Structure 1
């Protein structure tokens, strides 16, 4: 029996509680402005992963207005976050929100292409990350993933958001106007790629708009 439907989602969303009143207000403002921030059940799952694993450093690709990185920093005070945003206007909004929340000392925001910034960090000898959160342009997930694994620790968690793309990844019938063919093709290729990679264990779960959770294993990578 398939239990994932609108009623179940509504029920789960009603259980949601924001971490702080300030973050609750930021979520409300972002949702009203139709800014694509992480969904409530996605947030709850990722925050519990952070509670369990206590990552010292998180890399985020796709800052948006700074909501998710602020949640990550709030839930575990020892975490430092590097986040990358491509859009300059959104980048400026994120900086303002993060400063308002008093998190500027633990969240560093870069403006630019995700892959290019990661390569720059790698060249500069950036300290490695325990967790990566990919939530940017859906057609570029593979290159973000390939760039990010150069900067992760052994057993790092790599989380890819929105991999089901409102079920369009599963079936073309959900792309009712045929406008997303390229994104669909590339996301399907990406999901297959990370599921077949010998150097990580991946599961795809129907939380939010679909999450892929990959555990990186450096030893397997070294053997290739």
Structure 2
């Protein structure tokens, strides 16, 4: 049995044991597939990890950069108290519309605010609107802009906030200094920033599973 088969089967085992069948989330995945949205959302076990991180943190105000079809947005919304809020940013208007419908179907339309447009523009607008500082920020969008997203995250975060970034391993390509792919270069610049930024303590975790070989960077804002 190859590594990928083992990764997939172990993920399936954990899902069977720890994530009971969830018709709401299954509906989201089905709706996303039917709409032609790329299957690049977090896996179920990773979605549950985001949920648990938000619960452990006691997060009330969450920022997500990269909505896609709203799968991870719903996981995060489920972790929040009644007055909690998720602001999620999506560049693709069609995806944002589908995410809004999925979020309505899940019953979180009052808890999740889907904002369509370029994230670097909408992040500035959040600052201008006086949105309260965030307790958890999940970065999962175009990787070439990760350094800019990190700057905004530090600017918009509470002291003690969690910053989580997905897809920082890229099948191991993050260590390839010769790659000219802008996504890889963006991740490497992002990691350089984490290395040298005194305002955040960080680590990175490699992951395998249904989504292949990748990883998360996780940091706590001082």
TM-score between the two structures when normalised by the length of structure 1 = 0.84
* Structure 1 position 18, deviation (Å): 5.4
What secondary structure does 1:206 align onto?
strand
Find 2:163's aligned residue among 155, 158, 163: 158
What secondary structure does 2:175 align onto?
coil
- The separation in 1 between residues aligned to 2:30 and 2:12, in whole angstroms, is 14
1:52 maps to: 56
* Structure 1 position 28, deviation (Å): 4.6
- The separation in 2 between residues aligned to 1:146 and 1:28, in whole angstroms, is 35
Contact 2:52-2:79 within 8 A present in 1 as well: no
- List structure 1 segments (4+ residues) > 6 angstroms apart after TM superposition: none
1:130 maps to: 135
- The separation in 2 between residues aligned to 1:54 and 1:213, in whole angstroms, is 16
Alpha-carbon displacement from aligned partner over 1:143-163 (angstroms, at most 9, x marks no partner): 011112211111100000011
- The separation in 2 between residues aligned to 1:191 and 1:9, in whole angstroms, is 28
Equivalent residue pairs, number: 208
Q: Bigger shift: 202-211 or 74-83?
A: 74-83
What secondary structure does 1:163 align onto?
coil
Query: After superposition, where does 1:190-209 map in structure 2 within 5 Å?
Result: 190-207=190-207, 209=214
Structure 1 residues 137 and 50: CA distance shift in structure 2, 3 A: same
What secondary structure does 1:55 align onto?
coil
Structure 1 residues 158 and 45: CA distance shift in structure 2, 3 A: same
Q: What is the RMSD of the two structures over their aligned residues, measured on CA atoms?
A: 2.1
What secondary structure does 1:43 align onto?
helix
1:168 maps to: 173
* Structure 1 position 75, deviation (Å): 3.1
- The separation in 2 between residues aligned to 1:143 and 1:62, in whole angstroms, is 14
- The separation in 2 between residues aligned to 1:110 and 1:88, in whole angstroms, is 9
Alpha-carbon displacement from aligned partner over 1:48-100 (angstroms, at most 9, x marks no partner): 21221120010000010111111111233433100110011111111111111
TM-score between the two structures when normalised by the length of structure 2 = 0.85
Structure 1 residues 114 and 166: CA distance shift in structure 2, 3 A: same
Contact 2:48-2:75 within 8 A present in 1 as well: no
1:212 aligns with 2:217: yes
Contact 1:61-1:83 within 8 A present in 2 as well: yes
Higher RCO, 1 vs 2 (CA within 8 Å, ≥6 residues apart): 2
What secondary structure does 1:48 align onto?
helix
Q: Which stretches in structure 2 are left out of the alignment for 5+ residues?
A: 209-213
2:23 maps to: 21
Q: Bigger shift: 13-22 or 197-206?
A: 13-22
* Structure 1 position 195, deviation (Å): 2.6
Contact 1:91-1:109 within 8 A present in 2 as well: yes
- The separation in 2 between residues aligned to 1:40 and 1:206, in whole angstroms, is 16
- The separation in 2 between residues aligned to 1:195 and 1:38, in whole angstroms, is 25
